[in-house]
Every structure is written in C-alpha cells, then in structure tokens.
Amino acid sequence: MDRFRIDVIAATPQPQQVIWVAMHQDYSEVFVADGRDHQPNETKAGELVIKHLLAGNRGHYGPLEYPQITFNVGYFPHSLVQQLRSHRIGVSFDVQSFRYTGQRIVDVATGDRNVEEVFYLRPVGKYNNRQGKKYKYTENQRQADVQWCIKACKRYQERIKEGLAEEQARGLIPFDARQHFVLSCNMRSLMHLLDLRWKRDAQLEAQKFCDLLFRHFEEWSPAIARWYQDNRAKKAHLSP
Ligand SMILES: Cc1cc2nc3c(=O)[nH]c(=O)nc-3n(C[C@H](O)[C@H](O)[C@H](O)COP(=O)(O)OP(=O)(O)OC[C@H]3O[C@@H](n4cnc5c(N)ncnc54)[C@H](O)[C@@H]3O)c2cc1C
C-alpha cells in the first residue's frame, strides 16, 4: 500500500471496559469505581456495550467518547491532510507544516533522496473523474510528473539558497507533498472519521487511510470494530 503508514502511539487500555463502566454508571446505584473487581472482562464488556448501546442503532454514543487513541500517520499526501483537518470535534492534529523544515525537498534536488519519498503521485492505472468518465493515468504521464516534482524541488532549493524562508518557498512545490502527522481521537470520533472518509466514492487516498485506521481499531477494540464493520462501514451513514 504505497508508503502509507499508521502506527499507534498510545491507546486507552481495556477500552471496552471503560465504555462499560461509563454506561453502567448511568443506571447504577453505586459508585462504579468501587466495583471494578467484579466488572465484566474486556470481551464480555464489548458484548454488553453492543447489546445495550449500539444494537438497533439506539444512538447512545456518549460512553464511546472516553477511550482515546493517538496515531502517528505518515507519508500521506497533503490533500488528505487538508480533508481530515475539517473534522473538528473530538479530533486533534499536529501536522508537519513545512514552515520549519524543507531539507528533504532540497535532498530531492541534490539527488540525495528519492522524489517518491517526498511527493505522492497516484499509481499508473485506470480512474474515474467526478463525472464518472473513465481515464488512464499512463506510465509516460507519471514519469513526466515525477520530473515536474524534481524540477520544483530545484526551484525550491534555489530560492532557499537565495535566503527565502521555508514558509514562502513551500508555495513552489507540488500540492501533494507527503506529510506526517499525529492524530488523536476518541472511539466515537474514530467511527465518525471512518463514516465520512471510508465511503466507496471517497478519494482513493482517504480510503487507504481508513483501511489502515480500521486495522488498528480492530486490534484495539475487537467487538466494537466488528459491530462497526457489520453495521456502518462504507455505508455512508451519518455521523454517530
Ligand atoms: C466527501 C466530503 C467532501 C467534502 N468536500 C469539502 C470541500 O470541497 N470543501 C470544504 O471546505 N469542505 C469539504 N468537506 C468538509 C465538510 O464540509 C465538513 O466540514 C467536514 O466533513 C467536517 O464536518 P463533520 O461533520 O465531520 O464535523 P466535525 O467537526 O467532525 O463535528 C462532528 C459532528 O459534530 C456536529 N457539529 C460540529 N460542528 C457543528 C456546528 N458548528 N454546528 C452544528 N453541529 C456541529 C455535527 O453533527 C458533526 O457531524 C467535505 C467532506 C466530505 C465528507
């Protein structure tokens, strides 16, 4: 899958138990932290959360806001980062800005770094435009576009040498420079991101991002991820 990469930096342990505890406080007479030794294990908690909160689309998603997960996302094109940052609620970002860094662009110009590590171009293949018209992105076109990226890096290098700040010189490079970022969200906002960006007509790179994100969701919270896959994934439902 290209060079795209998502690693988990931190995640709430036993997320399904955390959700269960929050849900349980709603109808429990006792202070729920006192009974933690008797609470359901992680697997059972997942089953109960699905039964009481999610099954039948009850819309009681608040308890899913407690478990938090933080990812390091790498090598995705700028266009995807722009799209993701429109999701404001429950999601935090820290993104490479190109204001302070630009060495890897200069490295492309000097031949010390592979241009494909710094810029994203789609693979050669058949695509549809937004009006449904099919087209081919050919090897020749792609090669020419690679050269275009290298040329832009050379211009960037020249301007940096002349004393321009990185924040101005960044305007000279092609749009889909690869960016690394840190993204943190709770389980509810994670599902919201998947709802909006994993749709079959979503931008190809957004779908790839969601494929990787979902694998971590499955590892972190197997029961709820399975419920999500069976009930919401790629169905273009509105946000939970
Ligand atoms: C396929 C697609 C294409 C898009 N194209 C463009 C584009 O071309 N240009 C562009 O600028 N944007 C575009 N967007 C972004 C879109 O307009 C929204 O800004 C983005 O999806 C964030 O909305 P959200 O529902 O994720 O809100 P979030 O900020 O993640 O909020 C989560 C939820 O909280 C509620 N909420 C948040 N803020 C408010 C509020 N102010 N008032 C009421 N309820 C609120 C809503 O229920 C919302 O769904 C696109 C989004 C998608 C999915």
What pLDDT score does 71 carry?
98
Q: Whose CA is nearest to atom 39 of ligand 1?
A: 89
102 in helix, strand or coil? Answer: coil
Tell me: pLDDT of 240 over 80.
no
For residues 44 and 16, state if they share a domain: yes
Q: Is 8 in the pocket of ligand 1 (CB under 6 A)?
A: no
Overall number of domains in the chain: 2
Q: What is the pTM of this model?
A: 0.93
For residues 107 and 203, state if they share a domain: no
pLDDT over 90, % of the chain: 86
For residues 58 and 17, state if they share a domain: yes
Q: Whose CA is nearest to atom 11 of ligand 1?
A: 86
Domain of 120 in residue numbering reads as 99-176
DSSP assignment string, 118-151: HB--PPSEEEE-TTS-EEEE-HHHHHHHHHHHHH
Q: Is residue 132 in a domain? A: yes
Tell me: pLDDT of 239 over 80.
no
Q: Is residue 77 in a domain? A: yes
Q: Is residue 238 in a domain? A: no
Query: What is the bridge-based pairing of β-strands 91-95 and 125-128?
Result: unpaired
Which of 68, 49, 44, 83 lies closest to 228 in space, CA to CA?
A: 49
Q: Is 87 in the pocket of ligand 1 (CB under 6 A)?
A: yes
185 in helix, strand or coil? Answer: strand
**Ligand 1 atom closest to Cα of residue 193:** 26
d(CA 223, CA 240): 17
pLDDT, one tens digit per residue, over 147-206 is 999 999 999 999 999 999 999 999 999 999 999 999 999 999 999 999 999 988 889 999
